[in-house]
């Protein structure tokens, strides 16, 4: 049924870069075969899922939304892919994304944009716009995204779906193409909080193949989502997450969510986290710096595209020609910014200062979590903007991540879930919930309460 739905609507939505019809049907048959053999078919047996095209899938193309990986077929599964298959999940295909996960609108995909199912002329968020749109268009009930600065939560917010960035280290990065390794985190996307929890519990947990993977038991997110009690819980509202640039209807729905939590018995505490105003600046030094280093591996020798390999060019020229042809504008912008920020003489002034701001943000969160159990905010300052509106204005695009980036820099856990439609445009508004590292269960408790 989901394959038929994709066939019917994806020409318009363009959530998928690759639909793996044969693979999906084979996995569905494998689940049946497990049952026939008397084996457990897996906790999510037969449930279809849309996988962001940043996770390697053995034998199935993985492009990361880039021309530079066109034609590359990974010889192995990412840990997330492997765990999904073991759980009996049926992977329908690979979803569209901003190239190398750099963007907030999916317009930076080398393969064309994705439409927001609420209004196809608007962006579905990014970088994981394909995953979020596949849920909102009912092409899949579950999806996987990655969140370096908001790429799970911001698309969830603008498509009226649920997205969770687990604690950094909570879900393995093995086989997840690297953008900014100290920030990148894979996580679940779904239409309900409980569905997200069920998916979270399947993909999370220690993995020896990822050196930053946390070797502790995964918090019981499913029990928390089933419980949904918030009486006595202390909920922080950070004053830095409002003001100029926030759409009126977004703030209205946010304020209503605060009131709802109060009615449900939570204690609301006003907080200030002064360093959050510098988060965006720090992120746009740290993420490009790590990207410039990570993307050095795309040298035309190892994977995918190779341009100029005709006997007349040196190896260095082939690398340069391939990167020139294979990377899009935003990727090039970040590689240049990052290389500059890391170069000798500038390292302390740029990268070093950004790392100090990162520490201050982490401390602001630590102080906040001495007083409250969770922090809440709008996920994004505005609802979905029209495709093209911010395409030539990187600064305007970067503002979409104002509220999501602090959690990536601090490495804690955060969720976005729908909290109504903005009265002025009828588009979905996202509520963000942030919890301390390894307290991911609190996201699901609060999310289930206000859902
Ligand atoms: N929009 C942010 C960026 O372009 C975040 C991307 C992400 O989370 N992958 O860097």
**pLDDT tens-digit map of 413-427:** 999 999 999 999 999
Instruction: State which ligand 1 atom lies nearest to the alpha carbon of 102.
Output: 4
Residue 395 pLDDT more than 90? no
Q: Does the active-site annotation cover 151?
A: yes
- Assess whether the C-beta atom of 102 lies below 6 angstroms from ligand 1: yes
pLDDT tens digit sequence for 261-307: 999 999 999 999 999 999 999 999 999 999 999 999 999 998 899 99
How far is 363 from 376, CA to CA, in rounded Å?
17
- Please confirm, yes or no, whether 85 is among the known catalytic residues: no
The response to whether residue 148 sits with its C-beta less than 6 Å from ligand 1 reads yes
What is the rounded distance in angstroms from the CA atom of residue 301 to the CA atom of residue 152? Answer: 32
On whether residue 182 sits in a domain, the answer given is yes
pTM: 0.98
Return d(Cα 78, Cα 55) in angstroms, integer. Answer: 6
**Rg of the chain taking only CA atoms, in angstroms:** 21
pLDDT reported for residue 263 = 98
User: Rounded CA gap, 441 and 451, in Å?
Assistant: 15
Distances in Å between the alpha carbon of 421 and those of 64, 230, 271, 288, 429?
Answer: 31, 24, 26, 34, 6
Query: Angle, nearest 10°, between helix axes 79-86 and 193-203?
Result: 110
Q: What is the CATH number of the domain that holds 41?
A: 3.90.1300.10
Helices 2-13 + 21-36 axis angle, to 10: 160
The pLDDT of residue 47: 98
Ligand 1 pocket member 53 (CB < 6 A)? no
Residue 404 within any structural domain of the chain: no
Strands 48-52 and 90-95: parallel
What is the DSSP code (8-state) at residue 345?
A: T
Work out the average pLDDT over 343-358. Answer: 93
**What are 179-202's pLDDT values in tens digits?**
999 999 999 999 999 999 999 999
Residue 89 lies in a domain: yes
Q: How far is the C-alpha of 154 from the C-alpha of 370, rounded, in Å?
A: 27
Average pLDDT over residues 351-359: 96
Domain assignment present for 434: no
Is residue 45 one of the residues assigned to a domain?
A: yes
With respect to residue 449, please indicate whether it lies within any of the assigned structural domains. no
Domain count, the chain: 1
Are 413 and 387 in contact by the 8 Å Cβ rule? The answer is no
- Is residue 284 one of the residues assigned to a domain? no
Question: What pLDDT score was predicted for residue 424?
Answer: 98
pLDDT at residue 344 in the model = 86
| Position with higher pLDDT, 396 vs 360 | 360
- How confident is the model over 18-30, as a mean pLDDT? 97
Pocket test for ligand 1, best of 285, 332, 398, 401 (most atoms within 8 A of CB): 401
pLDDT, tens digit, 9 for 90 and up, residues 216-258: 999 999 999 999 999 999 999 999 999 989 999 999 999 999 9
Q: What is the mean pLDDT of the chain?
A: 97
Tell me: pLDDT of 360 over 90. yes
Q: What is the mean pLDDT of residues 95-103?
A: 98
Q: From edge to edge, which strands make up the β-sheet containing 234-238?
A: 16-19, 90-95, 48-52, 142-146, 186-190, 162-165, 413-421, 428-435, 374-378, 234-238, 267-271
* Ligand 1 in reach of 380 Cβ (< 6 A): no
pLDDT of residue 70 exceeding 90, the answer is no
Provide the residue range defining the domain that includes 212.
Answer: 2-226
Q: How far is the CA of 378 from the centre of ligand 1 (A)?
A: 17
Q: Kindly provide the residue ranges of all beta strands, DSSP E only, lying in 396-447, ordered along the sequence.
A: 413-421, 428-435
Write the residue with the smallest CA distance to atom 5 of ligand 1: 149
Burial of 181 (0-12, 13-18, 19+ CB in 10 A): middle
Residue 110: CB atoms within 10 A of its CB come to: 21
Q: Please indicate, yes or no, if residue 144 is contained in any of the structural domains.
A: yes
Residue-wise pLDDT tens digits, 31-64: 999 999 999 999 999 999 999 999 999 999 999 9
Task: Determine the pLDDT at residue 147.
Answer: 98
């Amino acid at each position: 049924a989901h394959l038929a739905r994709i066939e019917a609507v994806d020409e318009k939505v363009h959530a998928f870069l690759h639909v793996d019809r044969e693979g999906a049907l084979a996995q569905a048959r494998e689940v049946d075969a497990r049952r026939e053999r008397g084996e457990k078919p897996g906790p999510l047996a037969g449930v279809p899922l849309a996988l962001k095209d940043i996770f390697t899938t053995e034998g199935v193309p993985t492009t990361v939304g880039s021309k530079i990986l066109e034609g590359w077929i990974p010889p192995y599964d990412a840990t997330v892919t492997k765990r999904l298959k073991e759980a009996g999940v049926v992977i329908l295909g690979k979803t569209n994304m901003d190239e190398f996960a750099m963007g907030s609108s999916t317009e930076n995909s080398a393969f064309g944009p994705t439409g927001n199912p609420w209004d196809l002329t608007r962006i579905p968020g990014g970088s994981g716009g394909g995953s979020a749109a596949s849920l909102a268009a009912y092409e899949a009930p579950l999806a996987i995204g990655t969140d370096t600065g908001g790429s799970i939560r911001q698309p969830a917010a603008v498509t009226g779906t649920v997205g969770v960035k687990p604690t950094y280290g909570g879900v393995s990065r093995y086989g997840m193409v690297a953008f900014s390794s100290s920030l990148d985190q894979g996580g679940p996307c779904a239409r309900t909080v409980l569905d997200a929890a069920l998916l979270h519990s399947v993909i999370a947990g220690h993995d020896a193949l990822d050196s930053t993977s946390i070797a502790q038991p995964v918090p019981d997110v499913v029990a928390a989502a089933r419980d949904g009690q918030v009486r006595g819980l202390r909920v922080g509202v950070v004053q830095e997450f409002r003001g100029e640039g926030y759409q009126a209807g977004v703030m209205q729905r946010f304020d209503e969510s605060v009131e709802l939590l109060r009615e449900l018995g939570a204690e609301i505490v006003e907080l200030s986290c002064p360093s959050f105003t510098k988060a965006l600046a720090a992120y746009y030094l740290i993420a490009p710096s790590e990207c410039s280093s990570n993307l050095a591996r795309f040298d035309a020798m190892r994977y995918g595209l190779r341009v100029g390999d005709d006997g007349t060019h040196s190896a260095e020229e082939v690398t340069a020609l391939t990167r020139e042809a294979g990377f899009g504008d935003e990727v090039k912008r970040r590689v240049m910014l990052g290389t500059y920020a890391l170069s000798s003489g500038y390292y302390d002034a740029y990268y070093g200062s950004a790392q100090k701001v990162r520490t201050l943000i982490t401390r602001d969160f630590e102080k906040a979590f001495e007083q409250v159990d969770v922090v809440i905010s709008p996920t994004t300052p505005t609802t979905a903007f029209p495709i093209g509106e911010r395409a030539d204005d990187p600064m305007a695009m970067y503002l979409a991540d104002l509220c999501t980036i602090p959690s990536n820099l601090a490495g804690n856990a955060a969720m976005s879930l729908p909290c109504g439609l903005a009265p002025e445009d009828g588009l979905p508004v996202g509520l963000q919930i942030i919890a301390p590292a390894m307290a991911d269960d609190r996201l699901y408790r609060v999310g289930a309460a206000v859902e």
